[in-house]
Amino acid sequence: MGLPISFEFFPPKTPEGAEKLRAVRQKLYALKPEFCSVTYGAGGSTQQGTFDTVGEILAEGVSAASHFSCIGATKASVRDQLATLKAMGVKRLVALRGDLPSGYGAGGEFHYASDLVAFIRAETGDDFHIEVAAYPEVHPQAKSPEADLQAFAAKARAGADSAITQYFYNSDAYFRFVDDAHRLGVDIPVVPGIMPITSSSQLLRFSDACGAEIPRWIRLRLQAYGDDVESIKAFGLDVVTDLCDQLITAGVPALHFYSMNQSVPTLGILDGLAQR
């Protein structure tokens, strides 16, 4: 395919999960990812698990990016974590505001991801490649699409190197977002985040929570398949492979796959693209 690809994992909660993820990673490494990222729970609740998984990926000889959220954090705690990651050999961060744990007031010294990006740059210079999030279909808590775009521009101006989008199934939303960002003078690479479709109930639950739009025709098809898992997977594979094909044809800088700690869905998509 020739296009850089990357994969996202989440920290496993059990020894069995960790073992399964090691096997999944080995299968995906065959595709020579540019890096693999590891997510971070609300309020940094999975921090140790995140750092442990990042350490394993680095030990396996692959570049690893740690998600890094700042809700509830202090400058001192962020400084310590940056030192830890640097000592581990991490060269990439995905800098996020992060979600508040339930029942938690908005404490901490950072209010926006742009504050975190600016702090990391000021503290560490060019030690880290900083990724930020982008929302082609507008962040669910944004006051307006324009406010969301300005927040994205603020992250770029604070020193972000590139962005990864929330997943989407409507490529026009992505293209419009990139055009609008260019209009504001933001020209960092915006990498589409790709979510394979393997389960309709899981996808609908995720999408309602994070504000990603499931186009009506996809939603209705998924509902019509009911509990027919094989049909859902085959349909999902087709839809997402077509989406990636459109994006590649349009010249996107890279693709970032939300693996959900599985290898088969992502390998299926990339295999399909290789045959086109």
Catalytic residues: 8
DSSP the chain: --S-EEEEE---SSHHHHHHHHHHHHHHHTT--SEEEE---GGGTTHHHHHHHHHHHHHTT--EEEEEE-TT--HHHHHHHHHHHHHHT--EEEEE--PPPTT----SS--SHHHHHHHHHHHHTTSSEEEEEE-TT--TT-SSHHHHHHHHHHHHHTT--EEEEEE-S-HHHHHHHHHHHHHTT--S-EEEEE-----HHHHHHHHHHHT----HHHHHHHHHHTT-HHHHHHHHHHHHHHHHHHHHHTT-S-EEEE-TT-SHHHHHHHHHHHT-
Q: Are 4 and 253 in contact (CB under 8 A)?
A: yes
**Of the candidates 71, 39, 61, which has an alpha carbon nearest to the alpha carbon of residue 52?**
39
Phi, psi for 141 (deg, rounded to 5):
-100, 5
CB hemisphere CA count around 190 (13 angstroms) = 27
Q: Which residues contact 55 (CB under 8 A, 6 or more apart)?
A: 64, 88
